[in-house]
Amino acid sequence: MTSKTDQPIDLKPLIADLSGLEIITDLTLVTRLSHDYYTYSPILQPLLEDKRGDLVVRPTTEAEVLKVAQVCVKHKVPLTVRGAGTGNYGQCVPLHGGVILDLSNMQQIKWVKPGIACVEPGVKLAAIDKQARETGWEIRMAPSTYRKATIGGFIGGGSGGVGSVTYGLLSDRGNLLALKVVTMEDEPRVIELRGDDVYQVAHAWGTNGIITELEIPLGPAYAWAEAIVTFSDFMTAAHFGQALSDSDGIIKKLVCICADPIPNYFAALRSYIPQGTHCALLLVAECCLEPFAELVKAYGGTVTYQKTAQEASRGITLVEYSWNHTTLHARSVDPTLTYLQTIFPADQSLKLLEHMYHHFGDEAMMHLEFLRVGGQAVPAALQIIRYTTPERLNDIIKYHEDQGAFIANPHTCILEDGGRKTVDMAQLQFKQKMDPYGLLNPGKMRAWEEKM
């Protein structure tokens, strides 16, 4: 049992003050609820495997969150917020023990209006999508973990996903409208953030506020057909991905390109992807299938699988082979594999991407996800890496960066060392005001640790 300063925590008075709330102290369960999918990183695995909280609290209302915050401040005990725990970098793994605040029971969808939904943080993305679709709207973007992941966790730790080819990333202005946040002051308060102020807390990994309510924008709902297109040449597949992403008249939600031999890891899709070919996994609006077929023809691709939205709603969905689910399937066959997260510069000729594809060959198997960055469609990559040593992994990262590719390093559990690279002054200043004792998810925000 530890605290921020790694002094043992006296749990008895803490538990007494939390009486009336759902508390979990069972060691096995607390350990399980202290972890996420950091195991995808051979660097983070040994660093985080023995980290765990001292107890888990599961509030169901904002008033209960305020109570937990007040008790943690009173006892100066660290508090780490958790949604569904599907994050990849140990984002919700407590480095200094304390209370795990599991918000997965705050599941109310407060209202859905044309284009906007107001929800509690523990609602699963799939549940929001389902309710929004009943009114002709849908979630703009979701991680491939949308069935399990919570909206609070997506805003607290995610970046984008299926839908980003149209709407960009979560960090793009307009993709998050408002937040209610509980502070960790002596007398915790609820504050409301709107407009650009939401980015003081969004993607701060729960280090400077506890999100208790969110207003998110929605997009018009489409019937999404699913298709696999195969190509005999990888770069043709990549250029097809770029062309489809650039085709403003073809409405799409997912443009995922996997180089051979990645499809070998997709057991359930094997029969649709001939050995040695490269595949595109796609979600295209049903109303656009005719022009889509023309584009496929223009690039010499072969449609080997196509399902209507209704057919796709049963059984497997290609969404769960895209984004980091691609890594999941590869690792379920070979757990020594790991991955990288890269954004290539906007360049219609895809020169740097082509260079990396040939330069690393089988060591960095190319998996692309197209998304909009600054109004242009660009390929992001979640390359599957045949891991050997930490030094080699760093060399691969450095080589990419030296050549002009942006790497959001998934092998660190420090906020600034991943995708951000620099200190976010707005987030730091917000933490100074909202969490003056530094109790929220301690150890994750480098700027705060260095300041202390």
Kindly list the residues in this chain that would bind ligand FAD in the complex (CB under 6 A).
36-37, 80-88, 91-92, 103, 121, 143-145, 149-150, 152-154, 156-161, 205-206, 210-211, 323-325, 328, 441
**Which of 231, 266 has the CB closer to ligand FAD?**
266
CB-nearer residue toward ligand FAD: 44 or 296: 44
Closer residue to ligand FAD in complex, CB, 206/301: 206
Q: Which residues pair with 380 in a beta bridge?
A: 343, 369
- Report the residue number, 91 or 383, with the smaller CB distance to ligand FAD: 91
Q: Which is nearer to ligand FAD, 121 or 301 (CB)?
A: 121
Convert 399-423 to b/e letters by CB count within 10 Å (16 or more is b): ebeeeebbbbbbbbbbbbebbbeeb
Identify residue 295 by its one-letter amino acid code. L
The structure tokens 């510069």 sit at 345
Going through 60-119 in order, the beta strands assigned E by DSSP cover 79-82, 99-102, 109-113, 116-119
Smallest separation, CB 82 to ligand FAD (Å): 5
- Specify the residue, 41 or 91, whose C-beta has the smaller distance to ligand FAD: 91
The least distance separating ligand FAD from the CB of residue 290, rounded to whole angstroms, comes to 29
Distance of closest approach, residue 258 Cβ to ligand FAD, in angstroms: 15
Min separation Cβ 291 and ligand FAD, Å:
27
> How far, in Å, are 343, 394, 397, 415, 421 from residue 402 at the CA level?
13, 12, 9, 22, 15
Please classify residue 282 by burial: count the beta carbons closer than 10 Å to its beta carbon, then call 0-12 exposed, 13-18 middle and 19+ buried: buried
Rounded CA separation 258/280 (Å): 6
Please report how many Cα atoms fall inside a 13 Å half-sphere around the Cα of residue 284, on the Cβ side.
29
In whole angstroms, give the CA distance from residue 182 to residue 285. Answer: 39
Phi and psi of 222, rounded to 5°? Answer: -120, 160
Residue nearest to ligand FAD (CB): 153
| Closest separation in Å from C-beta 143 to ligand FAD | 3
Give the type of residue at 175: N
By CB atoms closer than 10 A (0-12, 13-18, 19+), residue 362 is exposed
Question: Whole-number minimum distance, CB 288 to ligand FAD, in Å?
Answer: 23
- For the chain, the distance separating the N- and C-terminal CA atoms, rounded to the nearest angstrom, is 23
| Helix (H) or strand (E) run with residue 248 in it | none
Question: Least distance in Å: CB of 39 to ligand FAD?
Answer: 9
Residue 205 beta carbon to ligand FAD: minimum distance, rounded to whole angstroms: 4
Question: Closest approach of Cβ 440 to ligand FAD, in Å?
Answer: 8
Q: Which is nearer to ligand FAD, 36 or 416 (CB)?
A: 36
Contacts of 450 (CB under 8 A, 6+ apart): none
Distance CA 355, CA 423 (A): 31
Q: Which is nearer to ligand FAD, 14 or 33 (CB)?
A: 33
Q: Which residue lies nearer to ligand FAD by CB, 80 or 277?
A: 80
